[in-house]
Chains A and B, each alone.
Chain A
Amino acid sequence: MGNAMRELDVSKIARAVRHMCISANCNVPAGSIAALERALETEESSVGKEVLARILENHRIAREECLAACQDTGVALVFVELGQDVKLVGGELYDAINKGVREGYADGYLRKSVVTDPVFERVNTGDNTPAFIYVDIVPGRDVKITVAAKGGGAENMSGLRMLTPAAGVEGVKQFVIEQVAKAGPNPCPPIVVGVGIGGTFDRVALLAKKALLRPVGSHNSHPMYSKLEAELLEEINKLGIGPQGFGGRTTALGVNIEFAPCHIASLPVAVNLNCHVGPHESVTL
């Protein structure tokens, strides 16, 4: 085969997307379950403990009966890492992804939560399309696909600020903590905090979103950013918002940071939140 292109039929991508839409919404990620179990042991508030136990029971029922863990099965974000030696055949990539979303949301009895235009009509598209698609070209012959279902409650509590270099690490921390405090009970705590730092106005928001695709309990490979993740988690859990916002130490299960180079004058920071369900799943084809 040598350097020949690998052919991949887009119908395989459609099938994988369909499967992951259903599976991700019914199976809360293992990293989040493990973090919830740890939180149940360390939570000091009795209400908080009760809430965490109920959340774990809900996630077990959802998994066993293949029900959506949360009624808000979100908009479908689909991230594709497309190997540059892959030739897609059998149709158009974006059509295949939207077909997968349409079938997954129908067959999995998942809620359709997309409206046509944001201001004037707000008519439900009826099949949860269009998916929000991001494609990266990467080396190799594989195609990695990640489906993330993003609910509205947590997404609405996101924020972005264009800090300047003088703000430094303290400025970054303060913005993140204030954003979480301002969100309070709305993003369905315990939450996962996705933080993007650097890049540009548009890039930093995507970094924050991509940070949420990393498993809860994983760490940034850069030691300074990994340390910042740990510090932020500790400080956020001092806020006392707690599970369901009824008080307690478990406000966040994890803080994931992704960073990128940026302009000499800039220090963009974005915060994107996930609820305790935070459905996402990946597959490599």
Chain B
Amino acid sequence: MDKVLETPLTADDINGLKIGDVVYLKGIICTSRDMAHLTIKDKLEKSEALPVDFHGAAVFHAGPVVTKNDAGWELRVIGPTSSIRMEPYAEMVGKLGVKAIIGKGGMRESSLRAFQKYGQVYLQAAPGCAALLADGIEAIQEVHWFDLGMPEALWVLKAKKFGPLVVAMDSRGNSMYEDIRTKAVKMIDTLYRSA
């Protein structure tokens, strides 16, 4: 049976996950990419309030395509963006109480440290599968910072069963990406020994 986690996520939810596990998310998912992270940082520095409560939150590195009709916002397609660009915010995001980061391509050392310190996981959503992924979102609850542009705004999404998501970095310092990177580097050494 599929493993479905519901937001807000708890420490128990996160501790029960290890790399390679496949999960789905139900509940609230907030998108944030480059500009939203920068905006959060600015607001924190100025001690200004944030529009959403990030405790137990799932943050999705994504810039969706959304249309507006009489009934409100409608999601057309959504998919992950490269998470590595958000690496400089690892500590900030951990401190906010975010429990799960959804994206693609993984993150590096600062994130792995934050994941252990704050009890977080990294979930990879299938990249380049935006038509398929949109099926898991049932509604758009609200949007903040729309002036940053549609992709960069902070969208609050309501998920019925969003996924599948692969636990690619866990809260114990494990990363599927590091394992695969190490193997790839070794292979280059084998192919080009003289280098």
A: which residues have CB within 8 A of B? 47, 51, 54-55, 57-58, 61-62, 65, 67-73, 109-113, 115, 122-124, 126, 152-153, 156, 170, 173-174, 177-178, 181, 184-186, 188, 235, 238-242, 244-247, 275-277
Contact = CB atoms under 8 A, between A and B. Distances in A.
B180 A152 contact: no
Interface of B: 35, 62-65, 67, 76-79, 81-82, 84, 104-106, 124, 126-132, 134, 148-152, 166, 168, 176-177, 180-181, 183-185, 187-188, 191-192, 195
Given A65-B131, A188-B128, A71 B180 contact: no
A206 B78 CA distance: 30
Given A68-B77, A245-B106, 20 more contacts: A54-B129, A61-B132, A62-B131, A67-B77, A68-B76, A68-B130, A69-B130, A70-B127, A71-B63, A71-B79, A72-B63, A112-B150, A124-B148, A152-B82, A153-B127, A244-B166, A246-B168, A246-B176, A247-B176, A275-B127
A122 B151 CA distance: 13
Contact of A184 (B62, B149, B184, B188): B184
Contacts, number: 153
Contact of A185 (B106, B151, B195): B106
A51 B134 CA distance: 17
A110 B65 contact: yes
Given A112-B149, A245-B180, A247-B180, A277 B132 contact: no
A240 B180 contact: yes
B18 to A, nearest CB: 15
Nearest to A68: B77
A65 B135 CA distance: 13
Chain A CB count within 10 A is highest, among B106, B127, B152, B188, for: B127
Contacts of B187: 181, 238-240
A54 B184 contact: no
B130 A58 contact: yes
A71 B84 contact: no
Q: Is the interface of A mostly helix, strand, loop or mixed?
A: loop
A178 B130 contact: no
A95 to B, nearest CB: 24
Nearest to A60: B131
Contacts of B176: 245-247
Given A181-B188, A240-B184, A245 B177 contact: yes
A46 to B, nearest CB: 11
A111 B127 contact: no
A152 B79 CA distance: 13
Contact of B177 (A112, A122, A185): A185
Contact of A67 (B81, B126, B131, B191): B131
Contact of A239 (B67, B76, B78, B184): B184
Contacts of A72: 63, 79, 81
Contacts of A112: 149-151
Nearest to A55: B129
B63 A244 contact: no
A109 B77 CA distance: 9
A245 B105 contact: yes
Contact of A124 (B82, B84, B104, B152): B152
A174 B191 CA distance: 9
8 contacts: A54-B129, A65-B131, A72-B81, A112-B151, A185-B104, A244-B104, A245-B180, A247-B176
B65 A184 contact: no
Q: Which 8 A-B pairs have the closest CB atoms?
A: A124-B149, A58-B129, A186-B105, A188-B127, A71-B130, A58-B132, A67-B131, A239-B184
A244 B126 contact: yes
B128 A69 contact: yes
Nearest to A248: B180
B84 A177 contact: no
Nearest to B38: A122
B65 A68 contact: yes
Chain A CB count within 10 A is highest, among B78, B128, B151, for: B128
B77 A240 contact: no
A181 B184 contact: yes
Chain B CB count within 10 A is highest, among A73, A123, A124, for: A124
B162 to A, nearest CB: 14
A112 B82 CA distance: 17
Nearest to A183: B105
Contacts of B104: 153, 185-186, 188, 244
Contact of B65 (A111, A241, A246, A247): A111
